Every structure is written in structure tokens, then in C-alpha cells.
Chain A
Amino acid sequence: MRSFVRFCLVAAFCVGAAFAAPRCARADVFAGLASGQFDTVAQAITELAVSGSPQAGAVLGALEQHQLFFTPDGGLFLRDGEAYIDARTGQPVATSPEGLAAVRLNNRVRKALAGARAGMDLFSADRAARLHAATTLYERHDPAALPVLQQALSAEKDAAIHKELALAHAATILAQPPADDQLAARIQAVAALRATGGLEARGILAGVGANESENAQVRKAAQEAVASINWRLRAWSIGQNAFYGLSYGSVLLLAATGLAITFGVMGVINMAHGELVMIGAYVTWLVQQGVRSAAPALEPVSLLLAIPVAFCVCGGLGVLIERGLIRFLYGRPLETLLATWGLSLIMQQAVRSVFGPTNIPVATPGWLTGSFALGGMDITLNRLAILVFAFLVLGTLMCVLRRTPLGLEMRAVTQNRRMAALMGIRTPRVDALAFGLGAGLAGLAGVAVSQIDNVSPNLGQTYIIDSFMVVVFGGVGNLWGTLAAAMTLGMGGKVLEPVIGAVSAKIAILVLVILYIQRNPRGMFPVRGRGVES
């Protein structure tokens, strides 16, 4: 019984389609398919469904798969592996026919095909097929599909598909020629499309709004709806840019916190910080390789394993650098800068010698790939994870600075080194640990960066100048300053980007920071007090 109803509906749809296109009326639809003319084939596809032929599904499926062939004398055959089936009878043919040529597709034929298939699929048992059919009909909004849509609307139980069908229904109503007796339905349809938003709805509504023969009330509603959708799209695109900005800001935050700590505690700028980030990314890769060969079962969590390893490796390197180099340059911050620059060149070249100059493929675990839609925004999981990770790191760091003895000592040394030393704090030890902590944070940044950027020996150079800007902009000795600066620079860049272009946005940000520092030489959150000169 149900199948009969469906059959009737599909037939009705197709009759409607045939009626809407008056150039048809061909006795043998199979001859139309075999004509070799795109327009005629497109007509015939619609007619084929009208005919209610039991072959319709198989023929349309074969056409989609490029398995439908015709002969010059009007024969039409489906290919099934090596064998051929006569499309008219559904019987296999004994010998393969002469002069076979494939029925070719162009966009017009494909559209007709998609519409015909969607009408048939609306009652499919497969949920995905129904959803796809509803979406297709929404995109096509062919007036002929109206009856079948109405029936499907009342029969559909699935909420998501029902919603899509309602949209398709609204779009189809608007696609019909304007008639005064349908005024209420059309206004309702405009409201439905306005509520959903999106480029598709905007296109349909703009067409309605521009239609001279349309009722003035409907036109006005449509024009208002277009304006409303435009506004919403713009708001979402701002939201999307803000997300990109937050994401870039979180990367900057990770890269800059370590730098800010060493700068705050020791007054030195570590030019090799970018290279420590790069080494963190390489450690991530090494951990992934190790896990893959030693314990393949743990592979999805190898990234989590890399976090402590990268922290320890880079932190250890940091302590080594401090003990082996920096402490000999106490009191000469500018020369420390030069020495660490030299160190960064050596580290870069060393990594290049060991791992080669090309990018290495750091894997992204399955649970971090993909994205989800939040309203009109597209949120990628890896960027979201980095955002969360950056804030976790910042929170942990603040706890360390506020709640642990080491943090207390570090804060004391930051505020007044001499007084701290007089109170019995071993400042050289604090220096070494602070430098190690800063380097370890660089390692964590490396793990994060490896998920969104190319990992090559030049990785550190990409982030180092921006990280400096963050530290200088934010001010020393205050992690809130670093946070505010990282987010300001990240967001500022991404918000300016669509307006003036990526490179110009970067230049503008650099110039703005330079000018800002002239006004506030100690950054946004300067340290105040007697320990600070001038």
C-alpha cells in the first residue's frame, strides 16, 4: 500500500514536471534518452519517471554511473559488468549491440537527473538518502516538486529531515509564479527562509524581492529578509574572524609566555626561544614515531604523551643554556641577546643537519581532525584544542607562580633582585629554573604549533618576532599583560586582514605596536614600584 502511494506521488511529481515543461510529449522516452541531444535527454529523464516504468530506477542509476549506452538506431542498453541489458525490457541481450555510445552528461542533464532521483528518494528507507533528497530539492526549488514535498512533509518523522523539507517546501512555494490567492503561504515561506539564513535563502529571497510581478507585500517582506540575512552573515563572518584571531592569539600566547618569564625574571631576551619551539615540534614528531613502533595501540594519545616529553626536553635544554651560557653574561642583557641569537643559528643548522631541511609530517590524531559548525561559524577542532590548551597552560603557570615556593622566589626576583638576594633567595638557582621553565613552555608551544603549521627548521623564525611584540606590548612581569597583548595582536591582525589584506594587516599591527610603545614604553601593564628605574 505504501509503495503504491509513493508511486502515485512520484508520478504526480513527474507529471507536474512534465506539465511545467511544455516542449516534451514524446511517445518513447527511451528514444529520447538515446537521442544524443543534451536537452532531449534532460526532458526524457523527467518523462521516464512520469512513465512509471519499472526500469526507471535502474536506468537513472546507470546513467549516473555512466553505464547507459545507446545505438544509432535508437536502442538503449545498460552495461552490467561485461553483459548488456536492454533498457526497455530489462532482459539481458545475447550479443553486444553494434555502434554503442555512452549517453553523455552535462550540467543540465545532471540537474534533471538529481531532481528526478531526489523525488524518488524522498520516501527511501535510508535516512541519509532522504536528507540528501530534501537538501537537493531545497537547492533546486523546482515548482513541480511541490505536491511530493507536501506529502513527504506530512509523512516525515525525523526532525532534522522535516526541517529541511519545510525549507524545501518554502523555497518551492516561492519558486511558483506569483498568485494573489497564495499570499499568506508566500509570506510564510519568506519568513521561513529568513529564519534559516544562508546564501541559498538569500539568493531565493533576492529573486523574489526583485520580481516586478510579485505582490508588493511579499516583495517588501523578501527585501527585509535579505537585509536581515546579510546582517546575520556579516555578524557570523566577524565571529569567524574573531575565532581565527583567538586561535592565533592562543598560539602567540603559548610562544610568548615562556619568553615573558625569562624576560621578566632575568631581563634578557632569549633569541633562541623560537628554536626551542621548533625543537618542541620535532620532539612531538619523535614521540609519535617512537609510539608508532613501540606501542601502536597508544598512537591516538601519542600527542598527549608528547606534552610532558617536550616540556622536559626543552626545559632541560633551557637549564643547560642558562648554566652554560647566560650566566656568564649577567648584567649585559644586550650581549645576551646576541649570544642567544648565535645559539639559535647553531640550533637551526643542527636540526637541519639531523632531520633535513624539509618539512616533517607530524600526524594529527583522529580526535583532533575535523570541525563542527557553530551557527554560521566553522570551528576546527585542532584550533579549538590549542585555544583550550593555551588557557590551561596559562592557568597552571599562574598557579605555579602564586602557590609554589619557586613561584614566590621568581616573583621576588622579578620585583627586586637585590632585595631578594639579601633575603636569602639563591638568585642563580632561580634564574636557571626560570630559564628552564621558559624553555619548557616553548616546548609546549612547539607541540601545539606542530598541529597547525609546517614543521621545518625555520619554524621558530615565523613566530619569534610576533612573540617579541607580544612581550614588549604586554609589559614585563605580568602574565595578564602577556595574555591581553597576545589576544589583542591575534585578533587585531585577523580583524584587519579581510579589510586591507594579510600582509598589510601585519605591517599595520607592527606599526601600531611601535607607536604604542612610544606612548607607553613599558607596555600595557608596566611593573611599578621602587625596583624599577625611570
Chain B
Amino acid sequence: MNRLFPSTSGAQGFAGVARMAVVVLVGAVVLAVASLLPESSPLHVSAFTVSLAGKYLSYAMLALAVDLVWGFAGILTLGHAAFFALGGYAMGMYLMREIGARGVYGNASLPDFMIFLSWTKLPWYWWGSGHFLWACLLVLAVPGVLAGVFGWLAFRSRVSGVYLSIMTQALTYALMLAFFQNGFGFGGNNGLTDFKDILGADLHSPVTRAVLLVITGVVLALALMLSRFVVAGRFGNLLVAVRDAESRTRFLGYRPEQVKLLIWVFSAMLAGVGGALYVTQVGIINPGEFAPANSIESVIWVAVGGRGTLSGAVLGAVLVNMGKTVFTAWLPEFWLYGLGLLFLVTTLFLPKGLWGCLNPPPVRRQKTSRPRFPARKEMRHECAKTSGNA
């Protein structure tokens, strides 16, 4: 591994991130091509594997989003799955409308669950959901606007540390409760599912699935490079400064709340895109995606892969989810033990994550490129505790 990804300039250096992007891209294309081979071929992979890979890569988008805010801005979010799910719902609405008259009740303009609730017309917020471009806009706008409002309120009044974490958790919990209600207009318990087409292409055909996987790979690779671009420059320096010494940065004349808000909204949009990709390949989105446990799980992907190393987040998300797939099929009752231990071991023994271990930073210290973890010392405890973003 170490030779495969030699790092020249720190954990999230350009070369490392670019290599990860290439690996993601190549992996997606190879799997997609292999799934199109005839079934007799020894290299053939099943449709199930393709949709699993698509799921992992969508989760990797979420992990990347979490890494941006946690690794670089020091905001421990326990509610990022909310943005992921909102993006998924935005895309799900379009896919619902694509079903058209092929639903159980055969109504061309209303999704089945609305007829079941004996609604006669679409609620106003479903306006435009029949258009793919509008759906794409919503995928970015809904998480972006929610994150913007929440972040503007929270960062402006300097809510930070554990308080902010609990607030994000409350946010996703409140959304989960709301989406569980039938009257909310998003299918209640069952969520949105039973999709048929996307842009006229059959969602169940192997070609569509292969194309979707490739698209996911491309989007993830682009997101990696874009994130690297965001955190590498002057803005990235500012982010790390806010993470490590918020008050000091403020005294130097910067506006930490604006810096945090920008990265927060960007990250929420990335998560939304991840959710949209997820729903096309998994074929269902329901309120369970908002569960606080999901958000915390996405944090552990980042911790396992390596906090503050963009590639590490992708690696962590894919590895942990593969482990989950294997484990839950093999020893279902031990998965929670495994996940719990993963939390303990990572926080205790792997503070830099897998990527940090595999790619030790160069001897020459680069302030912008390395997350700083305070040493375990009584004297540091006080300052780290009160600044709350260690």
C-alpha cells in the first residue's frame, strides 16, 4: 500500500488525492465493464455487486463531506446523514414522478402513496419534480439552504464543540421524525421506492446500472479533486487555522464564522450529491436514513480512514462498509460488537486513521497539511476542553 500511494506532500497532498481519484475511477469502470460481460465469462460480476459498489461510492461521498468539516474545520457533525438523505429524497421525488402511470393505482400525475392518502393534487413542494434538471438543482439546493440557515445561526453565535455536535444530532433526529409522518408528503414510513426509469433508461437494466456506477465514480473523483482544491489553497490554510485556534484567527482579523459556513454548505451539498447517487442505485430512500446512528457511523468511516486526509475518508467508507456487508451476512449478531470495537480502537490507537499510518507525513513539518492532535497532557486538557474543537 505504502508503495502504491507514495505521498510526497502530506496526507492530503495533490498526488495522494489524485491517485485515489484515479483508483476510484478505474475501479468503477472495471466493475462496470465486467458486469456487462456475458454471464459465462469468468470475469463477470453480478448486478448485486455493481449496486453494492455504487452504494459504497455514494457513502464515500458522504465520508468526504464529513471529512471536510471535521478534518479541516474541526466541526464534529453528528447529522450529516440528514443532508445525504435530503439529496436522496430530492432525486427520489424525480424518480417517483418517472414511474408515471405504471404505479399500482395507474395515476399518471400522482405517486401511489398520495393516492393512498386520497390526495387529489401534488403538494406545492413537489412542483417541478418531473424535470431531471430541477431535481439536480434541488439535490444541491435543499441541503445547501438547510446547511446555510443552520450554519449561519450556529456559527454566528459561536456554538461550537460538543454543543454543535448535539445540535446537528437534534437536527437530523427532528427531520427523521418529520419524514416518518405520512402527512409530510414524502411517503412516510416506506419512503420513496419502486422506481422504474431514469431519463427514460430502465433502472433495472445492466447497462443503466453500469453507467450509473461509472457516473458515481466520475463524480466522486471530481469531488475529491474539488475538495483538494478547496482545502489546499489560502482558504485551506484559513480552515486549519480556525480548527486549531479559532480565537487567534479571529483576533488576526479573519471571520471564522464565514469560513466555517462556506465549508459547511459546500460539505452539505457534497453529501446531497452522494445521497442522490445512492438513491438511483439502491432504489429506495426512507426516513431511516436520517437516523442519528447513521450520521455517527459516517464519522467513524472518516476516523478509520484518517481524519483530515481526503483520500482516507473514501478508503474508510469503502472498507468499513465492505466489512459491514461481509460481517452482517456471516455473523449478524457480532456486527455491532465489531462496529463498537472499531470506534474504540480507532479513537484509542489510530488517531490518524489508516491513511495516516500508511502515509506518514514527511519529516519536514507542513503546518497546513497535517491535522494536529493535542498530546495527552493535563495542562493541555483545559485549553482543548474549552476551545472545544480538538
Chain A residues close to B by CB (< 8 Å):
263, 267-269, 325, 328-339, 341-346, 348-350, 352-353, 416-418, 421, 427, 465, 468-469, 471-472, 503-504, 506-507, 510-511, 513-515, 517-519, 521-522, 531-534
| B344 engages A325 (CB within 8 Å) | yes
| B344 engages A332 (CB within 8 Å) | no
- For residue B8, CB closer than 8 A to chain A, the reply is no
Task: Given A343-B340, A349-B337, check contact A333 B299 (CB 8 Å).
Answer: no
User: How many residues in B have their beta carbons less than 8 Å from beta carbons of A?
Assistant: 62
Contact among B160, B339, B351, B386 for A342, CB-based, below 8 A: B339
Task: Given A267-B162, A333-B385, A469-B170, check contact A349 B374 (CB 8 Å).
Answer: no
Contact among A331, A350, A465 for B169, CB-based, below 8 A: A465
Q: Which of A343, A465, A515 gathers the greatest number of chain B CB atoms within 10 Å?
A: A465
Contact among A339, A349, A350, A418 for B382, CB-based, below 8 A: A418
Bound complex: CA A521 to CA B180 (Å): 29
Contacts of A337 in B (CB 8 A): 76, 162, 165
- Smallest CB gap from A417: residue in B: B382
Contacts of A531 in B (CB 8 A): 386
Contacts of B379 in A (CB 8 A): 418
| A349 engages B340 (CB within 8 Å) | yes
Bound complex: CA A172 to CA B383 (Å): 78
| B336 engages A348 (CB within 8 Å) | yes
Bound complex: CA A352 to CA B340 (Å): 14
| A513 engages B348 (CB within 8 Å) | no
Bound complex: CA A328 to CA B167 (Å): 26
List 13 A-B residue pairs with CB atoms under 8 Å apart, sorted by A's residue number.
A330-B378, A331-B385, A333-B384, A335-B347, A337-B76, A338-B343, A339-B348, A343-B344, A346-B336, A510-B174, A514-B167, A517-B157, A521-B157
- Smallest CB gap from B171: residue in A: A514
Contacts of B383 in A (CB 8 A): 533
Contact among A267, A348, A353 for B385, CB-based, below 8 A: A267
Contacts of A350 in B (CB 8 A): 337
| A468 engages B340 (CB within 8 Å) | no
Bound complex: CA A229 to CA B237 (Å): 70
| A334 engages B165 (CB within 8 Å) | yes
- For residue B185, CB closer than 8 A to chain A, the reply is no
Given contacts A331-B377, A517-B167, 14 further A-B contacts (CB under 8 A): A331-B380, A332-B374, A336-B347, A337-B165, A342-B344, A350-B337, A353-B333, A418-B379, A514-B150, A517-B159, A521-B160, A533-B247, A533-B383, A534-B158
- For residue B342, CB closer than 8 A to chain A, the reply is yes
Q: Name the distance in Å between B16's Cβ and chain A's nearest Cβ.
A: 24
Q: Name the distance in Å between B376's Cβ and chain A's nearest Cβ.
A: 5
Task: Given A325-B348, A343-B344, A465-B292, check contact A334 B167 (CB 8 Å).
Answer: no
Contacts of B334 in A (CB 8 A): 349
Contacts of B347 in A (CB 8 A): 329, 332, 335-336, 338-339, 342
Contact among B153, B166, B300, B342 for A269, CB-based, below 8 A: B166
- Smallest CB gap from B374: residue in A: A331
Task: Given A337-B76, A507-B177, A517-B167, check contact A533 B340 (CB 8 Å).
Answer: no
- For residue B373, CB closer than 8 A to chain A, the reply is yes
Interface residues of B in 322-352 (CB under 8 A from A): 333-334, 336-337, 339-344, 346-348, 351
Contacts of A532 in B (CB 8 A): 386
| B333 engages A533 (CB within 8 Å) | no
| A507 engages B178 (CB within 8 Å) | yes
Contacts of A330 in B (CB 8 A): 376-378, 381
Q: Name the distance in Å between B38's Cβ and chain A's nearest Cβ.
A: 43
| A518 engages B161 (CB within 8 Å) | no
Task: Given A333-B390, A507-B178, A513-B170, check contact A521 B377 (CB 8 Å).
Answer: no
- For residue B105, CB closer than 8 A to chain A, the reply is no
- For residue B213, CB closer than 8 A to chain A, the reply is no
- For residue B288, CB closer than 8 A to chain A, the reply is no
Contacts of B154 in A (CB 8 A): 517-518
- For residue B284, CB closer than 8 A to chain A, the reply is no
Contacts of A342 in B (CB 8 A): 300, 339-344, 347
Contact among A329, A333, A334, A503 for B348, CB-based, below 8 A: A329
Q: Name the distance in Å between A341's Cβ and chain B's nearest Cβ.
A: 6
| A503 engages B181 (CB within 8 Å) | yes
Contact among A333, A338, A515 for B161, CB-based, below 8 A: A333
| B76 engages A503 (CB within 8 Å) | no
Contacts of B157 in A (CB 8 A): 517-519, 521
Contact code string B143-173 (vs A, CB < 8 Å = 1, else 0): 0000000100110111111110111011101
Contacts of B385 in A (CB 8 A): 267, 331, 333, 417
Q: Which of B76, B166, B342, B351 gathers the greatest number of chain A CB atoms within 10 Å?
A: B166
Contacts of B389 in A (CB 8 A): 334
Task: Given A325-B348, A503-B181, check contact A472 B390 (CB 8 Å).
Answer: no
Bound complex: CA A514 to CA B154 (Å): 9
Closest 4 CB pairs of A and B: A342-B343, A345-B340, A346-B340, A349-B336
Contacts of A507 in B (CB 8 A): 174, 177-178
Contacts of B171 in A (CB 8 A): 510, 514
- For residue B388, CB closer than 8 A to chain A, the reply is yes
Q: Which of A352, A511, A533 gathers the greatest number of chain B CB atoms within 10 Å?
A: A533
Task: Given A343-B344, A503-B177, check contact A338 B300 (CB 8 Å).
Answer: yes
Contacts of A468 in B (CB 8 A): 166, 169-170
- For residue B296, CB closer than 8 A to chain A, the reply is yes
Bound complex: CA A332 to CA B156 (Å): 24
Bound complex: CA A27 to CA B337 (Å): 84
- Smallest CB gap from A327: residue in B: B376
Contacts of A345 in B (CB 8 A): 336-337, 339-340, 343
Contacts of B247 in A (CB 8 A): 533-534
Q: Name the distance in Å between A175's Cβ and chain B's nearest Cβ.
A: 44
Contact among B158, B161, B296, B376 for A331, CB-based, below 8 A: B376
Task: Given A331-B380, A515-B153, check contact A346 B337 (CB 8 Å).
Answer: yes
- For residue B387, CB closer than 8 A to chain A, the reply is yes
Contacts of B296 in A (CB 8 A): 338, 341
- For residue B135, CB closer than 8 A to chain A, the reply is no
Q: Name the distance in Å between B176's Cβ and chain A's nearest Cβ.
A: 10
| B161 engages A334 (CB within 8 Å) | yes
- For residue B81, CB closer than 8 A to chain A, the reply is no
Bound complex: CA A531 to CA B382 (Å): 9
Bound complex: CA A325 to CA B174 (Å): 31
Q: Name the distance in Å between B388's Cβ and chain A's nearest Cβ.
A: 7
Contact among B173, B343, B380 for A465, CB-based, below 8 A: B173
| B170 engages A510 (CB within 8 Å) | yes
Q: Name the distance in Å between B348's Cβ and chain A's nearest Cβ.
A: 6
- Smallest CB gap from B180: residue in A: A503
Q: Name the distance in Å between A54's Cβ and chain B's nearest Cβ.
A: 63
Q: Name the distance in Å between B28's Cβ and chain A's nearest Cβ.
A: 30
- Smallest CB gap from B385: residue in A: A267
- Smallest CB gap from A268: residue in B: B162
- For residue B303, CB closer than 8 A to chain A, the reply is yes
Q: Name the distance in Å between B356's Cβ and chain A's nearest Cβ.
A: 14
| B378 engages A427 (CB within 8 Å) | yes
- Smallest CB gap from B345: residue in A: A342
Bound complex: CA A38 to CA B293 (Å): 62
Contact among B303, B341, B375, B376 for A328, CB-based, below 8 A: B376
Q: Name the distance in Å between B20's Cβ and chain A's nearest Cβ.
A: 24
